[in-house]
C-alpha cells in the first residue's frame, strides 16, 4: 500500500505552523522578556580590572563618569545633600533668579515634569543657582514659591560659587561661565539633566527647544524607573 503524497506547499505550511509557536516562545522567554533599550550613559568610560558573567561569558566591567557628592543650602536654608538617597533618580538644572532669557521657561518645564512624578518616591528635582552671590536662600524661597507649591520634592540650591561652577563643568558636563562683557549675565546651560541612582548622567534635554525635548525626558524617566525597580528586585 503506497503512502499518500502531499504537495510541497502543504508540507511547508505544516512545518511553519509547527515551528512558529516554539520560536515565538523562545523569543519571548529568552530574548524578548520585558526587554527595552536602556538609556545611554554619558561622560568618560574606562575598562575596569574586574569582570561580570553574562550568558556564561566573562565581560570586563566599565567604570563610568559619576557626579561627585555635594551639599548646598536650599530655599528653606536646609542643608541638602546629593545624593540624598541611593535609590533616587534626580533631574538637575542650572539657573539664576535674575536670568533675563530662558530660566523662567526652563523652570516651568521642570515644574511640568516634577508635577507628573510628584508622588513617586524614586524621584527628586534640584535647581542649582549659578549666581549664589545674589541668590541667597531667602531670594530662592521667594522665587521658588510658584514651583514648589505643588512639587514638594524640588530643592533650589545655593552655595559656594567656585564649587558650583566646578560641579557644573566637571561633573554635570555643562557650561556655567560669568559673562565678562556683562557682569549681570551668566552663561549657562538650558539642559535638564537626568541622573540615575548610581550618580551617572543618563540624558540631556534642551528646555530651550520646546516641549518635545521635555516630553522625551518624561518618557525616559519611565525607562529609568523601570531599570531601577528591576535593579532593586535583583538585589
Report the binding-site residues for Cu cation: 99, 103, 188
The whole-angstrom separation of Cα 23 and Cα 75 is 57
The whole-angstrom separation of Cα 120 and Cα 146 is 20
Rounded to 5 degrees, what are φ and ψ at 29?
-80, -45
Q: Name the binding residues.
A: 99, 103, 188
Cell numbers describing residue 179 = 559673562
**8 A C-beta contact, residue 114 and residue 151:** yes
In what helix (H) or strand (E) does residue 188 lie, and over which residues does it extend? strand 186-188
SS3 assignment for 21-70:
HHHHHHHHHHHCCCCCCCCCCCCCEEEEEEEEEECCEEEEEEEECCCCCE
Burial of 179 by CB count in 10 Å (0-12 exposed, 13-18 middle, 19+ buried)? Answer: exposed
Amino acid at each position: 500500500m503506497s503512502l499518500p503524497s502531499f504537495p510541497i506547499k502543504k508540507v511547508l505550511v505544516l512545518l511553519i505552523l509547527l515551528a512558529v509557536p516554539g520560536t515565538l516562545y523562545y523569543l519571548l522567554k529568552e530574548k524578548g522578556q520585558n526587554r527595552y533599550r536602556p538609556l545611554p550613559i554619558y561622560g568618560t568610560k574606562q575598562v575596569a580590572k574586574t569582570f561580570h558573567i553574562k550568558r556564561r561569558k566573562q565581560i570586563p566591567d566599565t567604570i563610568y563618569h559619576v557626579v561627585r557628592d555635594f551639599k548646598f543650602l536650599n530655599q528653606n536654608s536646609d542643608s541638602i545633600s546629593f545624593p540624598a538617597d541611593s535609590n533616587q533618580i534626580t533631574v538637575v538644572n542650572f539657573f539664576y533668579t535674575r536670568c533675563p532669557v530662558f530660566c523662567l521657561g526652563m523652570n516651568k518645564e521642570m515644574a511640568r515634569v516634577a508635577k507628573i512624578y510628584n508622588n513617586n518616591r524614586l524621584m527628586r528635582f534640584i535647581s542649582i543657582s549659578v549666581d549664589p552671590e545674589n541668590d541667597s536662600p531667602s531670594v530662592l524661597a521667594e522665587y521658588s514659591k510658584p514651583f514648589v507649591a505643588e512639587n514638594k520634592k524640588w530643592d533650589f540650591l545655593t552655595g559656594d560659587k567656585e564649587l558650583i561652577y566646578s560641579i557644573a563643568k566637571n561633573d554635570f558636563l555643562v557650561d556655567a561661565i560669568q559673562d565678562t562683557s556683562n557682569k549681570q549675565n551668566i552663561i549657562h546651560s538650558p539642559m535638564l539633566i537626568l541622573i540615575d541612582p548610581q550618580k551617572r548622567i543618563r540624558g540631556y534635554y534642551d528646555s530651550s527647544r520646546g516641549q518635545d525635548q521635555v516630553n522625551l525626558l518624561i518618557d525616559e524617566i519611565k525607562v529609568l524607573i523601570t531599570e531601577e525597580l528591576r535593579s532593586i528586585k535583583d538585589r
